[in-house]
Amino acid sequence: MTELLSYVLPGVPYGCVYALMAAGLVLTYRASGVFNLAFGAQAYVSALLFSVVVQEGAGTWWAFVLSVVVAGPVMGLLLDGVVFRYTRGAPPLVRLVPALGLMIAIPSVAQMLAGTSTRVPASFVLRPNQVYFHLAGSAVSGEEIGTTLVAFASVAALAALLRSRRLGLRMRAVVESPRMAELHGVRSDAVGSLAWSISSLFAALAGVLLAPIYAQLNASNFTALLVAAIAAAAVGGLESLPLTLVGGIAIGVAQQVIGGYLPSGTILSSGLRPAFPFLVLAVLLVGRRSLRHDGRLDDPLAGCDPPMASLRPAPRMAEVALGAKAFTVALGAAVVAIAVAVVPGNWEFTFTQAAVLSIVMLSITLLTGLAGQISLGQAVFAGAGAFTAGQLAAHFGLPVLAGVLAGGLVAGMLGAIVALPTLSLGGISVGLLTLSFALLADNVLFLYSWSGNGATGLSVPRPKLGGLSFAGTGAFFGLSLVILGIVSGAVVLVRGGTVGRQLAAIRGSETGAASIGIDVARLRIVAFTLSAVIAGVGGALYASLEQSVSPNDFNYQFSLVYVVVVAAVGVYSVAGAIEAALAYTVLLQLVGSLPGRYSSLVALVFGLVALGYVRHPEGVVTYAQSWVLDRAEQLARFLQRDRASGAEAG
């Protein structure tokens, strides 16, 4: 009993911080329909700012005011005003991608600004590390008491605020129906800004409170915090703050208890703790009805909206379209050619990487672009393919090319299994579930010697086919192009065929699709399976290219990066996937050739891409093409008119 208590008590402060973050998540989700995955990054920025200011010698209180009271709400207002205000009522993908981009961009940029030296976190509450009293045999420190009190009080204050007539009612009105609220004189934009500043204040507070438990400030710790918070918010059904608080504390405590009781030193005990919130999230998503669909779709006045701008470019004059396409492709090729000429490096290898990565990206084209399903776990399927090929080569001497096929098959089976629990879910929930799966793979599944073999990883040889060897990068590049060609062809055929049209129908409206007899559940499984097969083939090929892989090559961040890149460049076309892979690998190569302190440039590009995506969800390349098209069409019309008037005169 005392042993149990000694695990339970230290969990409470963590739990309270989770609840604090979670309350912020619920607030913005309710007020603007955005599931702000950048919250962890915001917490990290505030913790970093706090530590920097304290280490510069300013007082703790000054640091607190600057990093939490000022920086928190300011960040929230910025994000709302520049990005998320424009995603209101947009499809789930459009609401998710900017948050993902910012989640990747913000920490790197902050790190760059703060200098590269690792920061030791400073502590804010009470007098840290001083034991105040003993409870049930365990020492309770000032940090723990302070954290618990501050977090608890903040959530309680928010709950009271939402219950108040003035603000609470307005906020509820905006949530129910922004248009109806506007008709009654509530300014929904103002309410949204308020919600964003309060919730970002909470994120900042959570960051500063939690920072001292880490040895050094590291953005990925704050991602873990974010996910625990998502799980806590799910306990509250993305609605109830008291339940969210209970959920946060329960998760914090459960993590400590798991850590205490499982035999130490095994993968399960070290992995289950970080993965636990994901399991909770997965169970809740599947089990709780209220979480399944985006509540915002039920706005009774939604029918009065002007229709969303089509994500598909309007039909064009055929010759002009061809010309503009040729022009943009030529422009892209010129940029790449200049990069190759100016920047030294192993470009042959880079282009081979791009070809292989294109295959992985095509898995997103099929699943997200065609079928409209959001997966934040594509890297897991790629990893499954890679490790299957590696294990089969190591233990059974299977030729690598056969391993690539086997990798695709195993990944496909995994895809089908992952699809099953998502069948009753809609939009962003599918994304969260697959994200939780990706973290489970990172922390547990891929660490065993029979799978990804932990940090050591696996070595995979280059393929041979009969007398043909693909050991050289040039030959491997040729092989990758052939496989890329086959996969692209398959995607094009599926898209033009019956299954492709049915998937497109599901993307448009699942209710409508069911009303004409489409078995939505079966087709979702088909989409996930096909997409996972493609990702698995790409992953296995990647392993063979790199000749050695470890789970780190396929961690959850890659899943997020892939989605952001493909969505931003163009998720609806095969060309988009290839351009995305090319742009990404070339960017990495360019930044890699710069001095180390510029490494955050990649993240900066991501941030800009996220901002651009909000305005142009059809993808930047598609947008660029249609921009060129518009100009070209104007010119063509002008010339036609010229000729016509010339004929008249003659």
Partner 1 sequence: MPLLELAGVSKSFGGIVALHEVTLAVAEGEPVGLVGPNGAGKTTLFDCIAGLLEPEAGSIRFGGRRVDGLPPFRRSRLGMARTFQRLELFSGMTPLEHLLVTERTRQGTGRLWKDLVGLGRPTRAERREADALLDLVGLADVADQPVEVLGLGRARLVELARALAAGPRLLMLDEPSSGLDDDEREALASAIERARRELGAAVLLVEHDLDLVAEVVSRLVVLDAGKVIADGGVSTVLADEGVRRAYLGAAR
Beta carbon of residue 240, minimum distance to partner 1 (angstroms, whole number): 17
- Which of residues 258, 317, 409, 499 is near partner 1 by CB under 8 A? 499
- Which of residues 240, 501, 591, 633 is near partner 1 by CB under 8 A? 501
Nearer to partner 1 (CB atom), residue 481 or residue 520: 520
Beta carbon of residue 527, minimum distance to partner 1 (angstroms, whole number): 11
Distance (Å, whole) CA 102 – CA 84: 11
Beta carbon of residue 492, minimum distance to partner 1 (angstroms, whole number): 10
Beta carbon of residue 310, minimum distance to partner 1 (angstroms, whole number): 4
Closest by Cα among 525, 540, 547, 553 to 406: 540
- The letter for the amino acid at 91 is P
Distance (Å, whole) CA 550 – CA 530: 24
Beta carbon of residue 103, minimum distance to partner 1 (angstroms, whole number): 27
Closest by Cα among 554, 570, 542, 193 to 389: 542
Distance (Å, whole) CA 575 – CA 595: 32
CA distances from 29 to 174, 187, 188, 296, 322 (A): 12, 17, 14, 10, 43
Nearer to partner 1 (CB atom), residue 170 or residue 507: 507
Residues 303-332 that bind partner 1 (CB under 8 A): 303, 307-312, 314-315
Binding flag, residue 514, partner 1 (CB under 8 A): yes
Stretch that binds partner 1, among 39-47, 233-241, 261-269, 488-496 (CB under 8 A): 488-496
Distance (Å, whole) CA 126 – CA 171: 34
Nearer to partner 1 (CB atom), residue 242 or residue 496: 496
Beta carbon of residue 490, minimum distance to partner 1 (angstroms, whole number): 6
Stretch that binds partner 1, among 13-21, 127-135, 173-181, 486-494 (CB under 8 A): 486-494
- Alpha carbons within 13 A on the beta-carbon side of 506: 30
Q: What's the 3-state SS for 143-191?
A: HHHHHHHHHHHHHHHHHHHHHCHHHHHHHHHHHHCHHHHHHCCCCHHHH
- Which of residues 333, 493, 594, 608 is near partner 1 by CB under 8 A? 493
- Which of residues 185, 498, 648, 650 is near partner 1 by CB under 8 A? 498
Region for residue 577 given its phi and psi (left: phi exceeds 0; alpha: psi -120 to 50; beta: otherwise): alpha
Closest by Cα among 624, 618, 586 to 605: 586
Please provide the DSSP assignment of 102-117 as one string.
Answer: HHHHHHHHHHHHH-SS
- Which of residues 444, 458, 526, 540 is near partner 1 by CB under 8 A? 526
CA distances from 286 to 9, 225, 277, 432 (A): 30, 22, 14, 11
Binding flag, residue 106, partner 1 (CB under 8 A): no
SS3 317: coil
Beta carbon of residue 572, minimum distance to partner 1 (angstroms, whole number): 8
Using alpha carbons only, what angle is made at residue 70 by residues 66 and 75, rounded to the nearest 5 degrees?
A: 120
Nearer to partner 1 (CB atom), residue 213 or residue 514: 514
- Which of residues 318, 341, 342, 516 is near partner 1 by CB under 8 A? 516
Beta carbon of residue 494, minimum distance to partner 1 (angstroms, whole number): 5
Beta carbon of residue 311, minimum distance to partner 1 (angstroms, whole number): 6
Nearer to partner 1 (CB atom), residue 30 or residue 507: 507
Nearer to partner 1 (CB atom), residue 287 or residue 512: 512
- Which of residues 134, 263, 515, 646 is near partner 1 by CB under 8 A? 515
Binding flag, residue 520, partner 1 (CB under 8 A): yes
Residues 530-559 that bind partner 1 (CB under 8 A): 530
Residues 265-304 that bind partner 1 (CB under 8 A): 302-303
Nearer to partner 1 (CB atom), residue 36 or residue 502: 502
The enclosing H or E element of 549 equals strand 548-549
Stretch that binds partner 1, among 8-16, 64-72, 487-495, 619-627 (CB under 8 A): 487-495
- The letter for the amino acid at 51 is S
- Which of residues 139, 329, 504, 601 is near partner 1 by CB under 8 A? 504
- Which of residues 136, 482, 497, 644 is near partner 1 by CB under 8 A? 497
Using alpha carbons only, what angle is made at residue 551 by residues 549 and 554, rounded to the nearest 5 degrees?
A: 90
Contact 121, 216 (CB under 8 A): yes
- Which of residues 41, 210, 487, 513 is near partner 1 by CB under 8 A? 513
Please provide the DSSP assignment of 202-247 as one string.
Answer: HHHHHHHHHGGGSSS--HHHHHHHHHHHHHHHHHTTTT-HHHHHHH
Token digits for 503? Answer: 């998937």
Beta carbon of residue 172, minimum distance to partner 1 (angstroms, whole number): 17
Nearer to partner 1 (CB atom), residue 78 or residue 482: 482
Beta carbon of residue 309, minimum distance to partner 1 (angstroms, whole number): 7
* Residue ranges in contact with partner 1 by CB under 8 A: 302-303, 307-312, 314-315, 490, 493-494, 496-502, 504-505, 507-509, 511-520, 526, 530
